Amino acid sequence: MRDRLRQLWPVLKVLLTLAIFAGVGWQFARILQDPDLQWVWLRQARGQWLAVSGLLYLLGLGFWASFWILLLRVLGERPKLPAAIRAYYIGHLGKYVPGKAWALILRTTLVQGPGVRLGVAALTATYETLTTMATGALLAVILFTLVAVDQTGMGWKAIGLLALAGIPILPGVFNWLVRRLSAPFQQAGAPLLPRLRSTTLLRGIALTGCGWCLLGAGLWATLQALLPQPQSWEWTAWGRYTAFIGLAYVAGYLTLPAPGGLGVRELILQQLLTPEISPLLEPGQAEPFAVVAVLFLRLLWTVAEVVIASIVYWFPGQGKSTKEQETSGP
């Protein structure tokens, strides 16, 4: 039975992905029934706010990348900073390939080399991703409680996501998992993979939390670009947008069939934004506006990822070891 399920899983994964896309597509198409309504906000979009949103997103990713680089150095690796930045931003594009592991595989293979062991690169990439997701869920729990009291139901959902993403990153749990999973592949006499400590987790929560706050500000900037009348800055609104982004991203990440959380993230964000922006628009416009906003946010931030990946692609890589250079020849 287990072998049968393993054989059918690739087909089931494709079917689940198509079902998600079809469901979200039908929902959004139903909302965007007026062909003129769906583009009115894009025609009046303010370019300066779109640029700010893209920049904030890339800076947020930079905080996540800094935690990964910190992890590598804490565990004794010596990555070259340009090579690590290159690997992180280019690796991020791997999330759009079906299968959550591609982003980690791409990042790991790009950074390995002199001073960075393959096993540690894979371990730290996995731990950074899980910590980032757990921190997003943690912030969502806190912020839904503090500044989004009318959406406490979402806070409970965030708690569930926090349990799923948070338990594996606890150092005792993660170290145990690493030992169990790596044991069959451990060569005799090879050094054991390093262990992670609680202080490293706390530093990771602080760094990745800053990244989430920047993504929340990026969502706010996107809305300023599309709303008929830009709104003044409010700290509570920033907190709510950060909670929205955290919940939507983590839910999308944990939905395994959806590459990059595509569809799941947009649906959750649309449902969260609709009541938030309803007082700012004419009656009946909040729902279609939210759909346009979340789809445009996906497009904007994907373009930003492609742009930064195209830039860092020219950064020097980690290089080859002396043995590899001798093997490859002149």
What pLDDT does residue 22 have? Answer: 53
**Contact call for residues 245 and 252 (beta carbons, < 8 A):** no
Condensed to tens digits (0 to 9), the pLDDT of residues 248-275 reads 988 888 775 556 566 778 888 988 998 8
CA dihedral 109, 115, 118, 124 (to 10 degrees): -90
Residues 42, 57: Cα–Cα separation, whole Å? 20
For residue 60, give the nearest of 35, 38, 92 by alpha carbon.
Answer: 92
CA-based nearest residue to 81, from 320, 277, 316: 316
pLDDT tens across 203-212, in order?
999 999 999 9
62's enclosing H/E stretch is helix 47-74
> Please, which residues bridge with residue 113 across strands?
116
Q: DSSP string spanning 155-197?
A: HHHHHHHHHHHHGGGSHHHHHHHHHHHHGGGPPTTPPPPPPP-
Task: Look up tokens 């920049």; give the residue.
Answer: 55
Residue 231 is classified by DSSP as P
**Prediction pTM value:** 0.83
> In this structure, how many other beta carbons lie within 10 angstroms of the beta carbon of residue 81?
9
* 226 vs 155: CA distance, rounded Å: 27
- Position 75 scores a pLDDT of 85
Point out which residues pair with 116 in neighbouring strands: 113
pLDDT at 321: 47
